[in-house]
Amino acid sequence: MQNNNLKFIEVSRNNGVGYRVPYWELDSGHTGPRVLVTAAMHGNEIQSPEIIRRFNEIAQKELIAGSCILIPFCNPVAVHGRHAHIDFEVGRYYGRDQINNLNCSWPGDPNGSDAQRLSYALFNTVVQKATHCIDLHCWQSMTATTVLPQHDNPVSMGMATATRLPFMKYNTERKTKTRPEYPCILTEYFNDSGHPALAIEFSGQFLTHHHELENGTMALLNIFKSLKMMAGEPEGETKRPIIINDQQQINVTAPVNGLFVKSKCRLGGKVQKGESLGHVFSDTDITRHEILSPAAGWLFRYGRQEDSSRVADPLTAYHVYASAGETVATIIIE
Ligand SMILES: [Zn+2]
C-alpha cells in the first residue's frame, strides 16, 4: 500500500496576494529514485496535468521502489489566465525570458517577478529533493509528440528510449556542465547537477487530445518501469521513438498562396512516396494544387501554423491560409 499525500506549496505574488500549488507525494516505502514530474509550467500547455492525474491513480497501486512528487499544475495563475505565463502580454516573445518565463527562471528569486517567486518556492520545497525530473510541456498541434533528453547522460537517454513516444530529439551542442549556470531551464538544473532529466513536448496547446493523454500516461509508466520503480517492461511500439537526429528530413512547402487542406494522413504516422498530403486551394485562381509526399517517411510536422507566442493575435497563428513557400509538412525520411 502506497502513502499518497496531497500537499501544498505556498507562493506569494508581487502584489502580496498568496496562492498554493497542490501536489501529490507518493512513497513506496522502499529505497530508489525520487522522481519529480512537473506539468503546466506554461498555462496553455494543459494536456500534461491530466496525464499526471491518470499516472497518479496507477502509481498509487503500482509504485514498488523509490518515491515521486507529482505537480499537475506548476503554474496555476497562468492556467487561470488561460495563457502561457503569469504576467502575459499578447504578442510578446518569452522564449528566452529568464524573468517572466517560469521554465527559464530557475532557481528563482524570492523578491523577483511573479515567475521568479514561483520557481523559488518550487525549488526550495520539492525540486532540490528530487533525484530525477520529467518535465511535461506541449508544443503546437502541428508538431508530433517528442521526447527531449540530455544526449550525454545515459540515464536520461534510457528514460527517453523507454517512453516509446513517436519521436526523440536532442541537442548535441549542449554538453552536460559540472554545475548549473543560473538562471537556467529546469531540466538543465537537474542534468548539470548530476541528476537525470528530460522534457516531453506533447502535441497541441490549449486543449486535450485523447490520443496524447493515453500516450503520455504510457510514457510515464514506461519511464518508471525502466527505473525499476514499477514492475514490467515498457509497452508500446518497439520501433519508437524515432530519433530525429539520425534521420534526414524534408520540409514540404505550399506551391501557391491559399488554404492548406490536409488529407487523411496522420501526424506522427507513416506516409508513402507520392501519397497525397493534401492540397492548397488558391484564392487567386480558385484552383486546387495537390501536394504529394516527395519521399516515404514519418510525418513530424503536419499542417499550417506559426508560433502563436510571436503573433499579436494568437488565434491567427492557427489559421490554415498558407503563403507560397511556407512549410506545411516535415517528413522524417525512413
Ligand atoms: Zn512549455
CB 4 within 8 A of CB 26: yes
Ligand 1 centroid – CA 22 distance (Å) = 19
Q: Please tell me the predicted confidence (pLDDT) of residue 90.
A: 82
Q: What is the DSSP letter of 9?
A: E
Residue 168 Cα to ligand 1 middle (Å): 17
Distance 236 CA to ligand 1 centre (A): 25
The residues spanned by each domain of the chain are 3-226, 247-333
Q: How far is the CA of 147 from the centre of ligand 1 (A)?
A: 13
For domain 247-333, give its CATH number from 3.40.630.10, 2.40.50.140, 2.40.50.100, 3.40.50.20: 2.40.50.100
Q: Distance from the CA of 138 to the center of ligand 1, in angstroms?
A: 6
Collapse the DSSP code of 122 into the 3-class scheme (helix H, G, I; strand E, B; otherwise coil) and give the result.
Answer: helix
**Distance of CA 48 from the midpoint of ligand 1 (Å):** 10
- For residue 238, report the distance from its CA to the centre of ligand 1, in Å: 27
Instruction: Give the β-pairing of 276-281 and 258-262.
Output: antiparallel
Q: What is the distance in A from the centroid of ligand 1 to the CA of 45? A: 6
- Tens digits of pLDDT across the chain (334 residues): 445 699 999 999 999 999 999 999 999 999 999 999 999 999 999 999 999 999 999 999 999 999 999 999 999 999 999 999 999 888 788 888 999 999 999 999 999 999 999 999 999 999 999 999 999 999 999 999 999 999 999 999 999 999 999 999 999 999 999 999 999 999 999 999 999 999 999 999 999 999 999 999 999 999 999 999 999 999 999 999 999 998 999 999 999 999 999 999 999 999 999 999 999 999 999 999 999 999 999 999 999 999 887 888 888 999 999 999 999 999 999 8
How close is the Cα of 18 to the center of ligand 1, in Å?
24
**pLDDT at position 135:** 98
pTM above 0.95, yes or no: yes
Ligand 1 ion local residues (Cβ < 5 A):
42, 45, 137
Count of positions (residues) in the chain = 334
Q: What CA–CA distance (Å, rounded) separates 219 from 214? A: 9
For cell 530557475, the residue is 106
**Residue 286 CA, ligand 1 centroid: distance in Å:** 39
CA distance 117 to 318: 32
Question: Residue 1's pLDDT is what?
Answer: 41
What separation in Å is there between the alpha carbon of 41 and the centre of ligand 1? 6
What stretches of the chain adopt beta strand conformation (E)? Answer: 3-12, 18-27, 34-39, 67-71, 132-139, 146-149, 167-168, 197-203, 242-243, 249-253, 258-262, 270-271, 276-281, 288-292, 297-302, 321-322, 327-333
CATH number for domain 3-226, candidates 3.40.630.10, 3.30.420.10, 3.60.20.10, 2.70.98.10: 3.40.630.10
- Determine the distance separating the centroid of ligand 1 and the alpha carbon of 108, expressed in angstroms: 17
Ligand 1 centroid – CA 281 distance (Å): 33
| β-strand partners of 299 | 331
